[in-house]
Structure 1
Amino acid sequence: MSTTARDLLEWSPEAVVFDCDGTLMDSERHWQEARNRAFREYGLQPPPGFAEQATGLYYEDCGRLMAQSVRKPELAEGLTAALLDHFLELVTDDPVTMPGATRLVRLLAARLPLAVASNCPRVVVEGSLQRAGLLTRFQHIVVPDTGDRLRPKPHPDLYAQAARLCGVRPHRALAVEDSLTGVEAARRAGLRVLGVGPRPPGDGATRADWWLPSLDAPELLAWADSCDTPGAAPEP
């Protein structure tokens, strides 16, 4: 175990901010299928390696990237709309939590304020968490918002705002992320980061303080169960 991982296990955050897609909800596969369907709708094929490039991107940024990747920038608006339509259909039909997500959230919600910082539209995040029975566990849902000038990840805005709403300084909050896009956003905002899911290639995992294969890792659940906190979070 790395020094940063040991440090994290010995640390008690004052708030925890979760990503949603691929972290709490098993919906990254829906985004991938939605991208494939949107490409097919326009008679196109995703270029090799596109899935890795698109993971964690805000859906509007992803739509633009889709158009650029096939050298048809004029299709950006149409591909973006098709992407969101297909995703909403898929996630509504099959909302599934990631392994360990429900138990971890329930353990932490009894001790800390929790928030979600997601690049997805609010209707997607709240709908997914509602169907999973987790929405009331979170005090705040933070998504990109032009009115509040909150930019999507990898900008730090969502995590900085989530920490602020939870009433803590960023360095006293923990981010939980599955993508390097999200890890970058959290680090830039000043949060410590737990990475979860398939280990990224190269040295990507070292950008997080600790990287685990899933949220049901015994050491993580044990840490959450014994987390020494200043007090329980208020009821939502």
Structure 2
Amino acid sequence: MAARSHSLLGWSPEAVVFDCDGTLVDSERHWQDARNRAFRDFGLLPPPGFAERAKGVHYVDCGRLMAEETNKPDLADDLTAALLDHFRTLVAEDPVTMPGAVDFVRLLSGRLPLAVASNCPEEVVEESLGRAGLRRHFLHVVVPTKTPGPAPAGEGPAGGDAGRQVVRPKPWPDVYATAAQLCGVPPASALAVEDSMAGVESARRAGLRVLGVGPAPSREDADRTDLWVTALHSEEVLGWARDQVPGPAPRGGGGG
């Protein structure tokens, strides 16, 4: 892992694509609370270990999983709707950013194309970034474009109805591949910043390098990234951003 870390810290990306929940915005706990509230709405108990299995999963898939693991498949749509409603309420009440996220984004803003690749609905991502004061720093927000279901084989974004591109959710590579394309760079020249294994898998399959952030995972999971740090305020990461990214001074202003 050390050799891969040195490789990343000596490299300059041409674009950076961020996950949102748990990477920029401290909303993973909101998803957990929303899942628990949705379970309670229907008199259900969360199965053991469900929080870890649900981390980074598209909310529609999560609602389906909630129904399957409680043997209530007929409640999939209702659980999904309740999950999203509770989450949006919680984010509106407490839009907190992850440690170091604002400084890291500000440092890169104006120097490189920045994008967000998320499994959340677009309006939820826009609300989260807006309330956190981060939306203005990102050129693009990429989310899945259709409800998840059986997907065709292949690693790139799938074909869609009437020529419309279908962007599948993580761990499919589509959101990251599309974000790199919109930023005008090949995936191999872009860096993904992720906190979940589903997101890491998505970025890796798309061909991006990956900076993992959050509580230390297993060695096996950490080795799937190019570098893992516990938070974006790590001086190792901030120093890399200052030293490796050319361009004008970062944008200032309040609410970043």
- TM-score higher than 0.5 here? yes
- For residues 95-116 of structure 1, what are the alpha-carbon distances to aligned partners after superposition, in whole Å with 9 as ceiling and x for unaligned? 0000100000000113100000
Structure 1 stretches of at least 4 aligned residues deviating more than 2 Å after TM superposition: none
2:151 counterpart of 1:134: no
Deviation at 1:225, TM superposition (A): 1.2
**Matches of residues 82-121 of structure 1 in structure 2 within 5 Å?**
82-121=82-121
1:10: how far off?
A: 0.3
Question: How many aligned positions are there?
Answer: 233
How big is the shift at 1:205?
1.1
| Counterpart pick for 1:212 among 229, 236, 242 | 229
The corresponding residue for 1:151 is: 168
Shift of 1:201: 3.1
Identity between Structure 1 and Structure 2 (%): 65
What one-letter code is carried by the residue in structure 2 that aligns with 1:203?
E
**Which amino acid is the alignment partner of residue 81 of structure 2?**
A
Q: Is the 8 A contact 2:108 2:245 kept in 1?
A: no
In structure 1, what is the equivalent of residue 17 of structure 2?
17
What amino acid is the match of 2:226? D
Provide the C-alpha distance between the structure 2 equivalents of 1:205 and 1:228, rounded to a whole number of angstroms: 24
**d(CA) in 2 for partners of 1:202 and 1:47?**
26
The aligned residue for residue 41 of structure 1 is: 41
Q: Report the Cα offset of residue 148 of structure 1.
A: 3.2
CA deviation after TM superposition for structure 1 residue 232, in Å = 5.6
* Bigger mean CA offset, 144-153 vs 160-169: 144-153
Query: 1:53-96 CA distances to partner (integer Å, 9 max, x unpaired)?
Result: 00000000000000111111111011000000100100011000
The secondary structure found in structure 1 opposite 2:211 is strand
Match of 2:133, as an amino acid?
A: G
Q: Identify the match of residue 205 of structure 2 among 162, 173, 188.
A: 188
**Is the partner of 1:207 in helix, strand or coil?**
coil
Matches of 1:213 and 1:143, distance apart in 2: 25
- Partner AA of 2:98 in structure 1: M
Q: 1:87 and 1:74, CA in 2 relative to 1: closer, same or farther beyond 3 A? A: same
Name structure 2 gaps, 5 residues minimum: 147-163, 252-256
Structure 2 distance, partners of 1:79, 1:152, is 19
Q: Match for 1:220: what amino acid?
A: V
Task: Give the CA deviation at 1:204.
Answer: 1.0
**Gap runs ≥5 in structure 1:** none
Asked if 2 retains the 8 angstrom alpha-carbon contact of 1:26 and 1:96, the reply is yes
Q: Equivalents in 2 of 1:115, 1:227: separation in Å? A: 19
User: Over aligned residues, Cα RMSD in angstroms?
Assistant: 1.4
Quote the residue 2:153 is aligned against.
none
Distance 1:12 1:81 in 2: 41
Higher mean alpha-carbon deviation, 104-113 vs 14-23, is at 104-113
Q: What is residue 199 of structure 1 aligned with on the other side?
A: 216
Deviations 1:115-142 (A, max 9, x none): 0000011111111111111101000000
Q: Is the 8 A contact 1:144 1:158 kept in 2?
A: yes
Q: Is the 8 A contact 1:30 1:91 kept in 2?
A: yes
Q: How does 1:221-232 map to 2 (within 5 A)?
A: 221-229=238-246, 231=247
